[in-house]
Amino acid sequence: MRAELNWLIFKNGDILLKRKGAKYCLPVSVNPPAAARGSVFDAGKNFKTFYTDKPAPAGFVFAEVRSAFDLIGKKYFQQISKGFELANWARASCFCPVCGAKTKQAAHNMKLCTACGKEFFPQISPAVMVLVRRRNEILMVRANNFKRKFYGLVAGFVEPGETLEQCAAREVQEETNLKIKNLRYFGSHPWPFPNNLMIGFVADWAGSKLKIDKKELSDAGFFNIKNLPPLPGKISLARKMIDAWILEQNIEHCNL
């Protein structure tokens, strides 16, 4: 008897969810509820993922991946992240960028050019995020590309030939004109929008006057625990870092 599987089925930037009254969940069944276009991948134990171009069947809906976590919670964030990245990579890597020939699936995370034999793997883009502290305040920014009304932390992609530490200092200075010191690692988090690995650092303000780069940010400022602006969603690394700082502030307040 075949075991039931959790199906991560994507169409463009959406994921297929099963509707159960007013609630939603991932499809769970022996066979997938929609037809695959291309390869089917493992995305964790008992999780399968693929891309489809078919409409949602009866009883199912397609929801934007980032918004889907508001509907089903963050329990399966890592599996959905992996599935989303694999499905998008499979769709975008049908031809060899070296010679233009077709590629074929050689492993769950590797494709092979049918002509020149070049091997290709999913590309991960590292990005640094920095929580900057100034006494009992933290620096929060509103980026021009934020679609929702919240403030986050300074973040940016690592450039060729650059260390993570150099990237952190450069991004803070480029976006806000501020200098930082005492940089220390917080943690990392997959972020499949589209294929990032977010690497979080905490730092202390080391001087300079706040002056935002208006090409990147619409607003920025230092906020204390009593006047925080709208925060990013709980699935993000930025929110985990901010929540950790809030907990630290509360502990310090209790110890006074």
pLDDT digits (tens, 9 = 90+) for 142-183: 999 887 889 999 999 999 999 999 999 999 999 999 999 999
Instruction: Note the pTM of the prediction, 2 decimals.
Output: 0.86
Give pLDDT, residue 252. Answer: 66
Q: Which domain covers residue 58, as residue numbers?
A: 5-92
Q: Are residues 9 and 78 in the same domain?
A: yes
Give pLDDT, residue 1. Answer: 64
Give pLDDT, residue 254. Answer: 59
Give pLDDT, residue 256. Answer: 46
Please list, in sequence order, all residues whose beta carbon lies within 8 angstroms of the beta carbon of residue 139, skipping any fewer than 6 positions away: 131, 132, 133, 153, 154, 172, 176, 178, 205, 210, 220, 221, 222
Please list, in sequence order, all residues whose beta carbon lies within 8 angstroms of the beta carbon of residue 26, skipping any fewer than 6 positions away: 6, 7, 8, 17, 18, 72, 76
Q: Are residues 61 and 107 in the same domain?
A: no
How far is residue 210's CA from residue 119's CA, in Å, rounded to a whole number?
Answer: 46
Run means of pLDDT, 10 residues per run, the chain, 256 residues: 89 92 92 89 89 93 90 89 89 92 90 95 95 96 88 96 98 97 96 92 95 95 95 93 93 60
Give pLDDT, residue 43. Answer: 87
Q: Are residues 175 and 247 in the same domain?
A: yes
Q: Are residues 200 and 180 in the same domain?
A: yes
Among 47, 69, 92, identify where a domain stops.
Answer: 92
Q: Are residues 86 and 47 in the same domain?
A: yes
Q: Are residues 193 and 250 in the same domain?
A: yes
Q: Are residues 153 and 244 in the same domain?
A: yes
Q: Are residues 88 and 98 in the same domain?
A: no
Q: Are residues 35 and 84 in the same domain?
A: yes
Q: Which of 194, 230, 234, 170 is nearest to 89 (CA)?
A: 194
Among 82, 107, 123, identify where a domain stops.
Answer: 123
State the CATH number of the domain containing residue 217: 3.90.79.10
Q: What's the number of domains the chain is made of?
A: 3
Q: Are residues 129 and 232 in the same domain?
A: yes
Give pLDDT, residue 114. Answer: 96
Q: What is the CA radius of gyration of the chain?
A: 21
Q: Are residues 169 and 236 in the same domain?
A: yes
Q: Are residues 248 and 137 in the same domain?
A: yes
Give pLDDT, residue 255. Answer: 55
Chain centroid, CA 9 distance in Å: 18
How far is residue 130's CA from residue 153's CA, in Å, rounded to a whole number?
Answer: 6
